[in-house]
Amino acid sequence: MPQSDSSDHSDNHETPDSCGFLSQFGKSEESTEWHSPAPAGYQRGVTKFVVVVGTVMSGLGKGIFASSLAKLIKDKGLSVAPIKMEGYLNIDSGTLNPYRHGEVFVLADGCETDMDLGTYERILGQDLTRKNFVTAGQIYTEVLERERRGGYLGRDVQMIPHVTGVVKMRLRELAMTGNNGKQADVVFVEVGGTAGDYENGFYIEALRELAFEEGPESTCFVALTYILEPSILGEQKSKAAQLGIKRLMEAGIQPHIVACRAKNPVTAKVMEKIAMFSNVPLRRIFSMHDRESVYAIPEAMRAAGLDREILSILNLHDRTNPGKEDVARVEWLDFSRRIFAPKKHHIELGITGKYAALRDAYASIDKAIEHCATQLSCDIRTRWIDTSELTDDTLTAKALEGVQAVIVPGGFGQRGVEGKIRCVKWARTNKVPFLGICLGFQMAVIEFGRNVLGLAGANSTEFEPNCAHPLIAELPDQKKLEGLMGGTMRLGGQDVMLDANSLASFLYGNKTQMTERFRHRYEVEPKYVAKLQESGMRFSGRHPKFPIMQMLELPQSMHPYFVGGQFHPELTSRPLSPNPMFMGLVAAGIASREPEFAATELGRRWVRSAPKPVTA
């Protein structure tokens, strides 16, 4: 509910009231309440806004651009709060098909978001919340629900000011709380889609209003555009970019900075044209051409002076901490250098998956593997395996032959499930390092039930509601105990208690408790737990209070590295601190080819040492 606070704003303007209108800002008077809502105590000019809007086309890597820029500013000692504004009417990304939209990323607070939020978390090294993600569906719902409650006091409800008002309110709330509950220095706004789309028009209008109300030096608009280079012409053409930027200007927004995505470095001629047609000084036009890695982008931006221009536009130079920047920069450069350094080790990793053809559906897994490859100096070749074709053990063995590690990732639905179970069996019986994630964890339990306990007809009620042995089942009562609504998924960060002396606690640095992120509906049926454990499967990670199995492993006498999590470890992997379950998997894969690796410093940390021989 927007609230305004007249005491704080009307006579406490930090920036000049150049527009006159602002003397009304924050007044609780009915007529202005919807125009410029702000949380109680909000002060203009404290938090600055950087807005990234795409032009010409989507798919320019706006999320990577915005997160790299936010990282550069954060590294200077400023607190940053990114927000992604989606134009779609879905309330969140939970119902989106990963095959079309990329993976559903789950935040610690359980919000199901676009995969870009994963990019922000990884590049910024910062946990985000539902406040960092907004969809048109959320905004309209808020407005319509308030209308039903009679919250608009008899007036007609309109896009301007009511819908745009909610957008501004969200941005100001984030400004006040986006730094771990405290005020953020800079809010980075990424508008989904491109300028001129119907869907995001109200966001762009709200941002125009925001910039006007916040006053000079408060908001920096960055137009991300694309420079075409048709192969038949063999030269760069700027017209599409000009027209795209014009769409933004037609909406009343004069960009401060133009960033040009392009295959090759953008020529001076093209930059001059863009400067001329967009009223942006040449020093604020940047070539953001393709780099060998996304990790090279922050440094490329810094070298071109993009960060300094942002600081000048927003008058933020005084808030920076150069010492902090040097440390952060060295750390990041070291990481980016190691990505391309020749690797000491090599493994091949098999990943099963329904969406094997589309890597965006597994973006976080892909990244988690990349983080480990860098930290362990291992060249990891991934082999994606379509399990719907694995109709028997021979075909499975053929598909997996030669891999040193296997991941069975999460998923929903029946397709390829039997093939996944065969892959688990192959990894277990051939003692090949294995990591089961969410559905993969459940497959590991079913495989063990069928082939070790001899429970014919063991399955998950997700696939076979009336199976003889529902090892994996939907347990609504248990969810009620946890305070979750029936029918919905268990989502977000949950504590996991780790058994002492387990592989699980070894991986997590001998901790007895950690937190990982979940997104599932089914889980291990508690009545089978004792039987499974008697035969060797160990549930080494559990819910602190309820009988929810959250991690499994096999003892070293049975397997060198067989681990599963009911959660999604890939969601918490970060470039400089990869997830332990992935590190353990890759390290075990390396050790299977090079036993001497276990004795190295990294090996001692990540490869579980062989059990001590029992002396008589």
* Interaction site with ligand GLN (CB under 6 A): 410-412, 438-439, 462, 519-522
What is the nearest approach in angstroms of ligand GLN to the Cβ of residue 436? 10
Residue nearest to ligand GLN (CB): 410
Work out the angle between the directed axes of helices 363-375 and 116-124 (0-180°, nearest 10). 20
Integer Cα distance of 144 and 157 in angstroms: 9
Nearer to ligand GLN, 168 or 520 (CB): 520
What is the nearest approach in angstroms of ligand GLN to the Cβ of residue 329? 37
Nearer to ligand GLN, 489 or 602 (CB): 489
DSSP letters for 24-92? GTT---HHHHTTS---TT--TTTSEEEEEEE-S-S-S-HHHHHHHHHHHHHHTT--EEEEEEE-SSSSS
Q: Are 319 and 185 in contact (CB under 8 A)?
A: yes
- b (16+ CB within 10 A) / e for 221-257: bbbbbbbbbeeeeeebebeebbebbebbeeeebebbb
Nearer to ligand GLN, 347 or 551 (CB): 551
Q: State residue 590 phi and psi, 5-degree precision.
A: -65, -45
Nearer to ligand GLN, 256 or 520 (CB): 520
CA Rg, the chain, in Å?
Answer: 27
What is the nearest approach in angstroms of ligand GLN to the Cβ of residue 521? 4
Work out the angle between the directed axes of helices 297-304 and 306-313 (0-180°, nearest 10). 60
Nearer to ligand GLN, 212 or 412 (CB): 412
What is the nearest approach in angstroms of ligand GLN to the Cβ of residue 380? 22
Integer Cα distance of 251 and 249 in angstroms: 5
Integer Cα distance of 70 and 306 in angstroms: 11
- The pair of structure tokens assigned to 353 is 């998956």
- Beta strands in 128-230, from DSSP E residues, in sequence order: 133-135, 186-194, 219-226
Q: Report the Cα–Cα distance between both ends of the chain, in Å, rounded.
A: 73
> What count of other Cβ atoms lies within 10 Å of the Cβ of residue 490?
21
What is the nearest approach in angstroms of ligand GLN to the Cβ of residue 572? 15
What is the nearest approach in angstroms of ligand GLN to the Cβ of residue 407? 12
Please tell me whether residue 551 adopts helix, strand or coil conformation.
strand
Please tell me whether residue 370 adopts helix, strand or coil conformation.
helix
Nearer to ligand GLN, 43 or 364 (CB): 364
Nearer to ligand GLN, 64 or 548 (CB): 548
- The pair of structure tokens assigned to 598 is 């276990």
What is the nearest approach in angstroms of ligand GLN to the Cβ of residue 478? 13
- Which positions ≥6 away from 527 have C-beta within 8 Å? none
Integer Cα distance of 143 and 137 in angstroms: 10
- b (16+ CB within 10 A) / e for 346-384: ebbbbbbbbbbebbebbbbbebbbbbbbbbbebebebbe
Nearer to ligand GLN, 242 or 461 (CB): 461
Q: Are 402 and 395 in contact (CB under 8 A)?
A: no
Q: Are 287 and 266 in contact (CB under 8 A)?
A: yes
Nearer to ligand GLN, 479 or 519 (CB): 519
What is the nearest approach in angstroms of ligand GLN to the Cβ of residue 382? 19
Nearer to ligand GLN, 35 or 420 (CB): 420
Integer Cα distance of 372 and 582 in angstroms: 7
Residues labelled catalytic: 438, 568, 570
Q: Are 94 and 112 in contact (CB under 8 A)?
A: yes
What is the nearest approach in angstroms of ligand GLN to the Cβ of residue 154? 46
- The pair of structure tokens assigned to 57 is 């086309």
What is the nearest approach in angstroms of ligand GLN to the Cβ of residue 522? 4
What is the nearest approach in angstroms of ligand GLN to the Cβ of residue 518? 8
Nearer to ligand GLN, 414 or 577 (CB): 414
Integer Cα distance of 320 and 29 in angstroms: 38
Q: Is the dihedral of CA 397, 398, 403, 408 positive or negative?
A: negative
